[in-house]
Amino acid sequence: MFSNILGYKIFNKSKEKLIEFVFARKKICIISGNPEVLLNGMNNKNLYDTFNSDDFIIIPDGVGTVVSAKIAGQPVQEKIAGIEVMDELLRISNEKGYRVYLLGASEDVIQRCKSNIINKYKNIDICGCRNGYFKNDEMNEIVEEIKVSRADILFVALGSPKQENFIIENMQQLPCRIYMPVGGSFDIFAGKLNRAPKIMLKLGLEWLYRVWKEPFRIKRLGKIPKFILIVFFNRIGLVRKTLVK
């Protein structure tokens, strides 16, 4: 069920199996394992250990991770995009009445994201939402608000690793069952950004589309080959240890 890439346990079955796995757990956080997130974890032992712990599952989000899995000799069945998992969780919530809380992005984006979700899923219960530009001393208030909302599912869009750290710090005191850091997904639901055209998604070129639309991402693009190279050197035995300090 898992591929081992640099010590990370990466889920290697289909998206449908992932959803089954997630709903069979009492509490779980779904990590979109793209090279940037995985590299963040490799430079921070706490993040790395937490991603590999029982309450977390890492999905192969992005062509960089899919290629790395092949290089590691542990291929995954398919790429699982975080935004597609989010959409599926929203669809199921709409059907089963699960309560959803949205935390992150700008006020304008979160409001548009919420109303577009409600337009798409007419019966959905968005039990709370809040923008992601808060001060540290507002954290307790936000956590209280999520508790009071009795959310079943919490999506957090604060950018990485802030969103993962928010969940790690608060997950045990919150009542939600499913937690998911979702990066720029609220921007996509809000219509501020589009996903790449289907052909680019198929060819594994979503990263190219994102850089084209948001050129500032070019600096972050280097993380994909960096991660792939580390996996490659690891495979051929040139790097025996991971980066974890």
Can you give the binding site for ligand UDP, defined by CB under 6 A? 104-106, 109, 132-133, 157-160, 162, 183-184, 186-187
CB of 112 to ligand UDP, least distance (A): 11
Rounded CA-CA distance 181/155 in Å is 6
By beta carbon distance, the residue nearest ligand UDP is 132
CB of 109 to ligand UDP, least distance (A): 6
- Per residue in 176-211, is it b (16+ CB within 10 Å) or e — as a string? bbbbbbbbbbbbbbbeebeebeeebbeeeebbebbe
Strand order in the sheet with 178-181: 2-5, 8-11, 56-59, 28-32, 178-181, 153-157, 99-104, 125-130
User: Taking a C-beta distance cutoff of 8 angstroms, is the pair 85, 59 a contact?
Assistant: yes
* Residue 35 vs 184, nearer CB to ligand UDP: 184
Q: Which two structure tokens, joined as six digits, stand for 83?
A: 């935004």
CB of 96 to ligand UDP, least distance (A): 27
Distance of CA 107 to the CA centre of its chain: 21
* Residue 42 vs 109, nearer CB to ligand UDP: 109
CB of 132 to ligand UDP, least distance (A): 2
CB of 1 to ligand UDP, least distance (A): 25
* Residue 63 vs 72, nearer CB to ligand UDP: 63
